[in-house]
Homo-oligomer: A and B are copies of this chain.
Amino acid sequence: MQELTLRQQEILLWIRQYMADHGIPPTRLALCAAMGFRSPNAAESHLRALERKGAIELVQGVSRGIRLVEEPKETSGLPLIGKVAAGQPILAVAHIESYEPIAPELFRPVAHYLLRVQGESMRNAGILEGDLIAVHHTLIAQNGQIVVARLEDEVTIKRFYRQGERVELHPDNPDYPVIEVNLKKRALHIEGVMVGLIRA
């Protein structure tokens, strides 16, 4: 959205207020009356300007055909992370598929985001492909916890075991191999620990 002039901001604000009050968008004439315009064309051209700048959308030929273009707001809920591209931070906005209406406090410790599970490597822990796991963002994990780990730009969900410099990432599925990591040789980052699961 382009920057609005002061007057345009004022008008956009009024439209928002009108819609909150009346449940429907205003007409050109209502805008005239509110702003003190004597010409409906003043309203019209303001609306056109707002549309040009991406603040609203106009549906032509339709009475009250004004749509607010929503700002990407943070709803109370948890961001759902889909596929994570290699080498990018997990919480990059680009990865957010949607916000799910789930209270973070449902989980203990609180969940920070949801991650869609790919593959069946944690099948025996009751984690299936397509499930959403709730993740608490933390850098430290206890032995035996299920963690979201990043191993050389690859994000994976495994059970975490550490002894000194040696870490083992265990799948909960005999068909998958245990991953052994020597922290001195390969970079391993804990992104968070699993605190819950949603299957929708």
Contact = CB atoms under 8 A, between A and B. Distances in A.
Interface of A: 22-25, 27, 59, 62-68, 100-103, 105-108, 123, 126-128, 131, 134, 195-200
A56 to B, nearest CB: 10
B27 A63 contact: yes
18 contacts: A22-B59, A23-B67, A24-B64, A24-B65, A63-B64, A64-B64, A101-B105, A101-B106, A106-B198, A107-B200, A108-B200, A123-B126, A126-B128, A126-B131, A126-B199, A195-B200, A197-B197, A197-B199
Q: Is the interface of A mostly helix, strand, loop or mixed?
A: loop
Contacts of A22: 59, 67
Nearest to A67: B23
In the assembly, how many copies of this chain are there?
Answer: 2
Given A101-B102, A106-B101, A108-B200, A24 B25 contact: yes
Given A63-B64, A198-B196, A103 B106 contact: no
A126 B67 CA distance: 44
A23 B62 CA distance: 12
Contacts of A198: 106, 196-199
Contacts of A102: 101-103, 106
Contacts of A127: 126
A167 B102 CA distance: 36
Given A24-B24, A24-B25, A101-B102, 17 more contacts: A23-B25, A23-B68, A24-B66, A27-B63, A64-B64, A101-B106, A102-B102, A102-B103, A102-B106, A108-B200, A126-B126, A126-B128, A131-B197, A134-B200, A196-B200, A197-B197, A197-B198
